[in-house]
Amino acid sequence: MISPARKIAYEVLRRVEAEGAYASDLLHAELGARVKAEDAGLTTELVMGVLRWRRLLDFLLDRQLKKPVARLDLPVALALRIGLYQLRFLERIPPRAAVNESVELVKSARKTSAATLVNAVLRRASNEARVPTEKFVAPDVPVAERLGILHSHPTWMVERWLARLGEQRTIALLEANNHAPRLTCALHDLKLREEIFAALQRAGLRIEAGKILQSAFAVSGGSPTRTESFRSGAISIQDEASQTIPLLLDVQANDRVLDLCAAPGGKTPPLVRAAGPSGMVVAADRHAHRLRAMREQFKRLALTNVRLIELDAASALPFGAFFNRILVDAPCSGTGTLARHPEIRWRLQPEQLAEFHSLQTSLLRSALERLAQGGRLVYSTCSMEPEENEQVVEVALRGVSGFKQNVGSEVPHGLKDKLVPGSEGANLFDRDGYFRTTPGVLEADGFFAAVISRS
As a whole number of angstroms, the distance between CA 235 and CA 226 comes to 12
Exposure string for 413-427, b = 16+ CB within 10 A, e = fewer: ebbeebbbeebebee
As a whole number of angstroms, the distance between CA 88 and CA 238 comes to 31
Nearest Cα to 311, choosing from 266, 370, 252, 351?
370
β-partners of residue 381 are 448
DSSP 182: P
Q: Are 79 and 102 in contact (CB under 8 A)?
A: yes
Query: Residues near 27 by Cβ (< 8 Å), separated by ≥ 6?
Result: 12, 43, 44, 47
Peptide bond between residue 386 and the one before it cis (omega within 30 degrees of 0): no
Is residue 261 annotated as part of the catalytic site, yes or no?
no
Task: Give the active site residue among 185, 261, 332, 382.
Answer: 382
Nearest Cα to 66, choosing from 129, 120, 128?
120
Question: One-letter amino acid identity for 90?
Answer: L
Query: Residues near 140 by Cβ (< 8 Å), separated by ≥ 6?
Result: none
Q: Are 92 and 46 in contact (CB under 8 A)?
A: no
Nearest Cα to 446, choosing from 241, 161, 238, 265?
241
Q: Which residues are catalytic?
A: 382
